[in-house]
Amino acid sequence: MTESSSVKDAGGQGELLAGGQGELPSGAQGELLLEAFDAQVFRESSESVLAKLEKHLADQAIKGLELVDPARLTEAARSLMTDESTRIAAFDEEKLAAIVDLYVRTGIPVHSPGYMGRQFSGVVPLGGVVDFVSSVVNQPSSFYEAGQLPNVAERIMADELNRFIGWECGSFDMVTTSGGSLANLTALLAARNRRFPEYWTKGGAALQGRGRPAVAVGADVHYSVSRAAGVMGIGEDQLVRLPLNAEQQICVEQAGPALAAAEERGLEVFCLVASAGTTSVGAFDPLDALADLAHERNIWLHVDGAHGASLLVSERLRKKLHGIEKVDSLAWDAHKMMFVPAPCTLLFYRNKEHSRGAFRQKASYVFDEQQDIYTALDSGDKNFECTKRPMIMPLWVLWSMYGRALFAEKIEYLCQLTQDAYDVVAEESDFQTVHRPEANILCFRYVPGTLAPENIHRLQEDIRNKVKFQGNFFISKVNVDGVAALRVVMMNHRITVENFRMLLSEVRKSGQELMAHYEDQRDAQ
């Protein structure tokens, strides 16, 4: 029986292979097919794209996002699509150039000093080069045989970064995941399966006679954690929100009583999630004290360090994560403060046995029952993804080429800049500070004396939008203690204090225009 007839019989739906001959189309179509995969065409098209990207990176103009009407952008994008529906279209260099231009132009300008808005960063360009290689060689990394170097690089980076965590060599584990949100979900699953070993197979029936599974979090936890609670069937209502202190950190004194009260209510708290750098203000929860508390109560301590774990590589800043060696798991986004292309997240487990606990599942076609020296490096049983981007490669290459100091120097600059920006805000009588920055996130409000208190919240929201549409700066906003605040995230080492003063001027001017408008509205009523 030939290969093609077995395919045919299995499908039972006639020929699956056109013509049944397994031949490429003849003539021009055959040539176009070959050309689409041709090495020289590849090089030529890459070179013109690289020239464009060089220009893009060299542009240091201060600018924010040019937000485009989605209908107009759709139209522009559609106009670049081929009309061919049955035949392979010929390669069109101009079309590629137009597509790349459109792509670059419509993005948040992450390399501009005007970008102070979000946590993903302008990448170290070499990281982009490595990602480009990854896209061409296409070595998904959940299994050693599919991505040999990525899997080895993961093990190396785990050891390299563990130098700043401090676990014993060989005792811990690390797995990469597509983003911090997935890392948080994965760690919570590992924690839940450890406390409720039968939950994976029996589901809710495993809970007979026990309290409802619950997760304790800081009141300001990232939404991915409450989402994980929903996904896992724990239910968002089973999140025990621990009160924060004035610095927006989990208040240790109140955490113990809050956990006890949760148990009284019939909850069984199996995991405590602390943040090492909250998303809103960059606050670091006191890990050392929380680890003691969790240990006393036999609760898994997971640290969401998506934003701030990178501070570990700085001698000056690592004290923010004091006690990190005592925690059970740590999520660390390299696509934030390690400046690599997104996504690249590292999920560490203090006890390597626990890394296999998140997904208790057998699939004989991929998971070898008997490990050998090759399959021992597979991570497919420890991460949710089957096909997974070899996301470690840019990080490993940058680390190999430049060493730790590249990251430490940049992070230290950004945190100092944020301190300086805080000092500037504190000096201005029409601005209000909201917190003392612990890292590179700063929230503040524009509150001139003439502003009616009931308009404070609305004014910050309106200023954020006005600044965004003016297109000189890109900043974000967040509610702190229920009231909106302007939020800057310093991710670019080319931003200066002077740039920040320019932003404040724009905020002030926008605020005054908006307030005049509020008054017009009131007078009109």
Ligand X SMILES: *Cc1c(COP(=O)(O)O)cnc(C)c1O
Instruction: Give residues in contact with ligand X (CB under 6 A).
Output: 119, 179-181, 222, 224, 275, 277-279, 304, 306-307, 333, 343, 345
Work out how close the CB of 349 gets to ligand X at its nearest, in angstroms, rounded to a whole number: 17
Which residue is it, tokens 């606990």?
A: 357
Structure tokens at 430: 């029409």
Please say which residue, 255 or 334, places its beta carbon nearer to ligand X: 334
Considering the complex, what minimum distance in angstroms separates the CB of residue 279 from ligand X? 4
Angstrom distances, CA of residue 439 to CA of 95, 186, 415: 43, 26, 5
Q: How far is the CB of 154 from ligand X (least distance, A)?
A: 17
Q: Is residue 366 within 8 Å of residue 380, measured between CB atoms?
A: yes
Cβ(179)–Cβ(228) below 8 Å? no
Closest approach, Cβ 314 to ligand X, in A, equals: 18
Closest CB to ligand X among residues 139, 279: 279
Give 440 or 510: the residue with its C-beta nearer to ligand X. Answer: 440
What is the rounded distance in angstroms from the CA atom of residue 129 to the CA atom of residue 53? 11
Axis crossing angle, helix 39-58 with helix 93-105, rounded to the nearest 10: 30
**CB of 138 vs ligand X, minimal distance in Å:** 23
- Hey, what are 104's tokens? 């670059």
- Across 342-353, b (16+ Cβ under 10 Å) vs e yields bbbbbbbbbeee
The DSSP bridge pattern shows strands 441-446 and 345-349 to be unpaired
User: What is the rounded CA–CA span in Å between residue 500 and residue 494?
Assistant: 11
Residue in the structure block whose two tokens are 């911090």 = 180
Q: How far is the CB of 249 from ligand X (least distance, A)?
A: 13
Closest to ligand X by CB, 109 or 277: 277
Distance in Å, CB of 226 to ligand X, minimum: 11
Nearer to ligand X, 247 or 430 (CB): 247
Which is nearer to ligand X, 281 or 515 (by Cβ)?
A: 281
- Take residue 127 and report the two structure tokens written for it: 């990281």
Nearer to ligand X, 124 or 451 (CB): 124
Residues 241/184, Cβ–Cβ less than 8 Å:
no
**441-446 β-sheet, strand order:** 431-433, 441-446, 483-489, 476-480
In the complex, least distance from residue 414 CB atom to ligand X, rounded to whole angstroms = 15
Instruction: Name the minimum Å distance from CB 300 to ligand X.
Output: 17
- What is the closest distance, in whole angstroms, from the C-beta atom of residue 334 to ligand X in the complex? 10
If the CB atoms of residues 346 and 421 are measured against ligand X, the closer one turns out to be: 346
Nearer to ligand X (CB atom), residue 120 or residue 431: 120
Q: Dig out the tokens for 53 from the structure.
A: 């990207």
- Determine what percent of the chain falls in helix, strand and coil, rounding each to the nearest 5: 50, 15, 40
User: Nearest approach, Cβ of 201 to ligand X (angstroms)?
Assistant: 28
Q: Shortest Cβ distance from residue 183 to ligand X (Å)?
A: 8
Per the CB < 8 A criterion, the answer to whether 301 and 259 are in contact is: no
Please report the sign of the dihedral spanned by the C-alpha atoms of residue 256, residue 262, residue 268, residue 272. negative
Q: Choose between 119 and 476: whose C-beta lies nearer to ligand X.
A: 119
Which residue of the chain is nearest ligand X when measured via CB? 180
The SS3 call for residue 453 is helix
> Which is closer to ligand X, CB of 181 or CB of 476?
181
In terms of Cα–Cα distance, which of 132, 172, 151 is closest to 46? Answer: 132
Q: Is 325 exposed, middle or buried (0-12, 13-18, 19+ CB in 10 A)?
A: middle
Closest to ligand X by CB, 267 or 334: 334
Handedness of CA 126, 127, 132, 133 (dihedral sign): positive
Q: Distance between CA atoms of 374 and 377, rounded to whole angstroms?
A: 6
Which neighbouring-strand residues pair with 348?
174, 330
Q: How far is the CB of 332 from ligand X (least distance, A)?
A: 10
CB 436 within 8 A of CB 469: no
119 or 176: whose CB is closer to ligand X?
Answer: 119
Rounded to an integer, what distance in angstroms lies between the CA atom of residue 32 and that of residue 69? 35
Q: Which amino acid would we find at residue 105?
A: R
